[in-house]
Amino acid sequence: MKYPDKPLPKTMHRKLIWRSWPLLGVSLPLVVAAAAPQSNRDWPAYLGEGAAHYSAAQQITTADVARLAPAWEFQTGDIAPGRSSEMPCNPLIVDGILYGVTAQLALFALDAATGRELWRFTPDRLNQGGQGSFSRGLALWREGAERRLLFTAGPILHAIDPATGKLIPAFGDRGRVDLLDDLDHDTRGLSLSANAPGAIYRDLIILGMRVGEGPAPAAPGHIRAYDVRTGKRRWIFHTIPHPGEYGYDTWSPDSWKTNGGANCWAGLVVDPERGLAFVPTGSAAFDFWGGDRIGDNLFANCLIALDAATGKRRWHFQFVHHDLWDYDLPAPPVLCEVTRAGRKIAAVAQVTKTGQVWVFDRETGESLFPWREEPVPPSDLPGEVAAKTQPIPSKPAPFARQRFTEDEVTTRTPAAREAVLRQLRAATPHQLYDPPSERGTVILPGFHGGAEWGGPAVDPRGVLYVNSTEMVWTVQMVPAAVLSADARTLYAQLCAACHGANREGNAVASIPSLAAISARLQPEEIGERLRRGKGMMPGFNFLSAASRDALVSFLIAPDSAEATATRAPSDTANADASAKLSSPYVMTGHNRFFDPDGYPAIRPPWGTLNAIDLNTGDYLWKRPLGESPELTAPGETPTGTANYGGPVVTAGGVLFIAATRDEKFRAFSAATGEILWETVLPAAGYATPATYEVGGRQFVVIACGGGKLGTKSGGSYTAFALPVRP
């Protein structure tokens, strides 16, 4: 079937109506398209079937959830000093076996009733041209007696036998596929990983990935499907269109060669009944400067409905034109059913970092609530061309505050308020979509939301539950030319966005200071870290050896006159790549806006949990999520905290969520938002829980990795259940 080439309005492009099949229920099969419906006892797909974070299990109810007690705890034994402990994995549970991932990317299987380890697989090819020190989950394919776990570690996709934990040799290269291959792009020296699992459709696994977001060069975020049996690529969708492809004219002419990003790092969801893959994408690279990618930049910042069998676009919607704020779509959309005028509609709902909820007809892409293109401020940076408008939905109302005014400034103490006011008045007066500037720009909702990668839950009533962070950030652009020495320019372009202009790091975000790096690492170790990357840090293998050595010298002795990068005359292999570091501006870092005592500059709540009726767009309830107990007396309204990880809602009327800085795990009434139960975890649960039944007993399990927001590290999976009656 051919599609018309007539252009449509820039936010809405191409819609195709085809046969509508009746829904079998809200929880749609995600793992195996042709298989029988999954048992309510299992948790067979990342974030649940349809990514809905919903379970039909109902043994645990609002009446008895207060009796929950620890059932088992599994210590992964995979935490080492100086290494990341982040463990955001949402595990799979199928037929009484739990499959999860450790902080250092070992895959394991447990007896889901007892937590006893059955097997473990440790990848042997990490960080070769890729980043990625954590995994949010994995995928399971089943057909007849065949089963395969599809699991990514860094840039490598593995096929594992779930019975033995061994690689399946017939898949790819002895059980592995290198995602740096088959990208229709030169990936030498570029950074790429897949931290979120792919989604299964028939005999395909459809994958997004995480790529570099700094100045060029960066890998493009194309979407690919692989044969689950052979590992061969079956199709690719170019999220940065090539010449002749739809959307090519929304970029600069050479963007398909030089620009990166527009990737799906958060994960995607498949509707097997309709044969559609719903893919949320992130911003184009460089995140904060777009003078080399003039235009709206399709398919960055889009929800794309792709034919899951072929990769052909059915429809898409762009949420942010020409993104300059790192406003990636942060989580997979959820498949749900809503009612309009007595008619059931198969819908897909997408939350955003900016605190918006968008709801679309799955088949046509039509928004189920009105929206408008709102005029937004222009950029004052020479060469930048910001979009003139941005799309804003009329309903639901945003679940995160949209403006940081003096009325929203902290009142924690008079001194704290005055200090924040001084900084706020020195920056550009805030409104949503203010472009980055040399003066300094306030960012609210922040770089981490609003919504974040945990994503929302939705129940069969069409009620969506989403947690939100309310933290102010700032961004300031600096002309690269003012940073004198070449090594300083390289540091500003490659390192300052995370480690800060003065190498101070960010303890809250678990980003180390580089001020005394020579006390921790030898020069050759620093150079190897720059070349290969580590954890969330990408590798910079495109740098010449001379440039890399000069950057090492700068990190060790930033005031030394010898810290000047030069390219050796014979170093022609890296010459073109190094020359691409040409953004005229760099940023001073992803800076949270705190008061002098390290608390958020905005008044509480700093984290919320929200229940929104998608049938009407109205809020049912809103509650603070998390607590800073040193700031509130018993009985006072909690402050809320920054949060990472999502909720799970059950047929028992209970909503489970951890996610908070206070290291607690909580159960809420889905109907009222009342807290029904809470407990302190061994370490913060910055992950989405899973719930399942084994042997007639319902369990709720959460990965307790900690290691973010200044909280302690951990390495356990902890499960809870109702006590067994004697």
Percent of the chain with pLDDT over 70: 86
How far is Cα of residue 591 from the mean position of the Cα atoms in its chain? 19
Q: Average pLDDT, stretch 92-108?
A: 96
Q: Which CATH class, in words, describes the domain spanning 477-588?
A: mainly alpha
Instruction: Tally Cβ neighbours within 10 Å of residue 541.
Output: 18
- pLDDT for residue 127: 44
How far is Cα of residue 417 from the mean position of the Cα atoms in its chain? 32
Q: Average pLDDT, stretch 38-45?
A: 80
- pLDDT for residue 30: 30
- pLDDT for residue 40: 63
Q: Is the pLDDT score of 536 beyond 70? A: no
Report the C-alpha gap between 164 and 143 in whole angstroms: 18
Q: Is the pLDDT score of 168 beyond 60? A: yes
Q: Is residue 620 a contact partner of residue 610, using CB atoms and an 8 Å limit?
A: no
Which of 42-46, 158-162, 190-194, 558-562 bottoms out in mean pLDDT, i.e. has the lowest?
558-562
Q: Average pLDDT, stretch 65-89?
A: 90
- In terms of C-beta density within 10 A (0-12 exposed, 13-18 middle, 19 or more buried), how is residue 597 classed? exposed
Count CA within 13 A, CB hemisphere, residue 604: 19
Instruction: Give the pTM.
Output: 0.85
- pLDDT for residue 67: 98
- pLDDT for residue 126: 55
With bands split at pLDDT 50, 70 and 90, how would you rate the model's confidence at 543?
low
Q: Is the pLDDT score of 357 beyond 60? A: yes
Q: Is the pLDDT score of 705 beyond 60? A: yes
Report which of 547, 549, 545, 560 is spatially closest to residue 523, judged by C-alpha positions.
549
Q: Is the pLDDT score of 566 beyond 60? A: no
Q: Average pLDDT, stretch 175-201?
A: 94
Mapping DSSP to helix (H, G, I), strand (E, B) and coil, where does residue 358 land?
strand
pLDDT tens digits for range 591-634: 899 999 999 999 999 999 999 999 999 999 999 999 999 998 88
- pLDDT for residue 557: 87
Which of 472-481, 487-496, 533-542, 652-661 bottoms out in mean pLDDT, i.e. has the lowest?
533-542
Q: Is the pLDDT score of 551 beyond 50? A: yes
Q: Is the pLDDT score of 9 beyond 90? A: no
CATH topology of domain 12-475+596-721: Methanol Dehydrogenase; Chain A (2.140.10)
- pLDDT for residue 402: 97
List beta partners, residue 592. Answer: 473
- pLDDT for residue 16: 33
Max CA separation in the chain (angstroms): 79
Looking at per-residue pLDDT, the higher value among 502 and 165 belongs to 165
The residues near 222 (Cβ < 8 Å, ≥ 6 apart) are 183, 184, 185, 236, 237, 238, 239, 240, 263
Q: Which helix (H) or strand (E) holds 545?
A: helix 545-556
With bands split at pLDDT 50, 70 and 90, how would you rate the model's confidence at 20?
very low
Q: Average pLDDT, stretch 59-63?
A: 98
Q: Is the pLDDT score of 129 beyond 60? A: no
Report which of 235, 653, 240, 691 is spatially closest to residue 459, judged by C-alpha positions.
653
- pLDDT for residue 541: 58
Q: Is the pLDDT score of 24 beyond 50? A: no
Phi, psi of 548 (to 5 degrees): -65, -45
Mapping DSSP to helix (H, G, I), strand (E, B) and coil, where does residue 669 land?
strand
Give the best-scoring range by mean pLDDT among 141-150, 426-435, 521-530. Answer: 141-150
Report the C-alpha gap between 86 and 712 in whole angstroms: 10
Domain boundaries, given as residue ranges, for the chain: 12-475+596-721, 477-588
- pLDDT for residue 82: 67
Q: Is the pLDDT score of 244 beyond 60? A: yes
Looking at per-residue pLDDT, the higher value among 540 and 92 belongs to 92
Looking at per-residue pLDDT, the higher value among 506 and 447 belongs to 447
Number of H helices, E strands in the chain: 7, 42
Please list, residue by residue across 635-668, b when 16 or more beta carbons sit within 10 angstroms of its beta carbon and e when fewer do: eeebbbbbbbbbbbbbbbbbbbbbbbbbbbbbbb
Give the best-scoring range by mean pLDDT among 5-9, 364-368, 574-578. Answer: 364-368
Q: Average pLDDT, stretch 270-282?
A: 98
Looking at per-residue pLDDT, the higher value among 567 and 151 belongs to 151
Q: Is the pLDDT score of 447 beyond 90? A: yes
Which of 20-34, 189-203, 585-599 bottoms out in mean pLDDT, i.e. has the lowest?
20-34
Q: Is the pLDDT score of 90 beyond 60? A: yes
Q: How far apart are the first and last CA of the chain?
A: 64
With bands split at pLDDT 50, 70 and 90, how would you rate the model's confidence at 586?
confident
Which of 126-130, 154-158, 208-212, 264-268 bottoms out in mean pLDDT, i.e. has the lowest?
126-130
- pLDDT for residue 588: 74
Report the C-alpha gap between 156 and 176 in whole angstroms: 6
Percent of the chain with pLDDT over 90: 73
pLDDT tens digits for range 417-434: 999 999 999 888 999 999
Q: Is the pLDDT score of 563 beyond 60? A: no
Mean pLDDT over the full length of the chain: 88
Encoded tokens for 432 = 């949503």
Local structure of residue 605 (DSSP, 8 states):
P
Which of 208-212, 267-271, 536-540, 709-713 bottoms out in mean pLDDT, i.e. has the lowest?
536-540
Q: Is the pLDDT score of 361 beyond 70? A: yes
Phi, psi of 393 (to 5 degrees): -80, 150
Which of 346-355, 546-555, 702-711 bottoms out in mean pLDDT, i.e. has the lowest?
546-555
